[in-house]
């Protein structure tokens, strides 16, 4: 047996290390967030279901009577996002003390199921009156659930759904140009690029293929991540 094989054999088994690192999982989920907000804003009446900072601003526009915005839509999104976050908090209390890999995969499985149900509704009843509210509720709940989990996981410099103002601020203020080492600049840059890519892909799919296809893509992506995610940062 070689020295490398002997060292490997002596290392303790770490189930958390199996699978894709959380940094890459969260970057992929940031793409999904951009995609979901493209679906909700462009296809569900100018409402955000992943980005709640934007949604609160939109709610202010709607309350002031700005044309094209709906208090009911934005309130539904905000309410179900918060409900999902409450569920995520309760889930963290139950399983958060165990392996992060199990916790992460459980949350992503739930997200994938909710997004798959959203896609099914969009395909089955694309023009029904209740479809808009159903899609807002399902995607908002899924994003709240995931965001609560990501917050508890505490992976530095990546949040997947939080508005990118602070990410961009940190990217500039803590860069070498800003007088700091810039150690987290690659993650922050990747997070911005991931959100932009998701928004672009989501917008293109909505404009050319309707709501079902981008929701299905989001569901499949979350489902794959639920299978391959590890518990290591």
CA distance 222 to 109: 7
**Among 137, 112, 110, 135, which residue's Cα sits nearest to residue 123?**
135
- pLDDT number for residue 145: 95
- pLDDT number for residue 8: 47
pLDDT tens digits along 2-50 = 544 554 455 555 666 678 888 899 999 999 999 999 999 999 999 999 9
pLDDT band at 163 (very low <50, low <70, confident <90, very high): low
Cβ-contact 30, 158 below 8 angstroms? yes
- pLDDT number for residue 2: 54
pLDDT tens digits along 52-93 = 988 999 999 999 999 999 999 999 999 999 999 999 999 988
pLDDT at 197 over 90: yes
CA distance 24 to 28: 6
pLDDT at 161 over 70: no
Cβ-contact 34, 196 below 8 angstroms? yes
pLDDT tens digits along 136-160 = 999 999 999 999 988 888 776 566 6
Angle (nearest 5°) at CA 139 between 130 and 68: 60
> Would you call 89 helix, strand, or coil by DSSP?
helix
Cβ-contact 158, 144 below 8 angstroms? no
Q: State the chain's mean pLDDT as an integer.
A: 86
* Token reading at 182: 């810039």
- pLDDT number for residue 191: 85
Q: Residue for token digits 């994938």?
A: 112
């Amino acid at each position: 047996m070689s020295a490398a094989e002997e060292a490997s054999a002596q290392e303790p088994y770490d189930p958390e290390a199996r699978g894709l690192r959380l940094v890459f999982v969260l970057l992929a989920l940031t793409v999904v967030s951009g995609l979901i907000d493209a679906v909700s804003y462009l296809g569900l009446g100018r409402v955000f279901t992943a980005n709640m900072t934007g949604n609160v601003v939109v709610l202010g526009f709607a309350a002031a009577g700005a044309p094209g915005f709906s208090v009911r839509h934005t309130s539904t999104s905000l309410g179900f996002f918060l409900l999902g976050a409450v569920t995520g908090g309760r889930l963290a209390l139950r399983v958060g003390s165990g392996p992060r890999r199990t916790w992460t995969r459980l949350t992503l499985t739930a997200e994938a199921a909710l997004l798959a149900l959203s896609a099914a509704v969009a395909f089955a009843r694309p023009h029904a009156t209740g479809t808009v509210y159903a899609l807002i509720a399902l995607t908002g709940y899924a994003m709240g659930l995931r965001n609560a989990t990501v917050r508890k996981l505490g992976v530095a410099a990546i949040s997947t759904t939080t508005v990118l103002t602070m990410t961009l601020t940190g990217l500039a203020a803590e860069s070498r140009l800003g007088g700091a080492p810039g150690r987290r600049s690659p993650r922050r840059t990747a997070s911005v690029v991931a959100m932009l890519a998701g928004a672009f892909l989501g917008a293109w799919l909505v404009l050319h293929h309707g709501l079902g296809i981008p929701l299905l893509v989001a569901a499949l992506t979350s489902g794959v991540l639920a299978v391959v995610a590890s518990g290591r940062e």
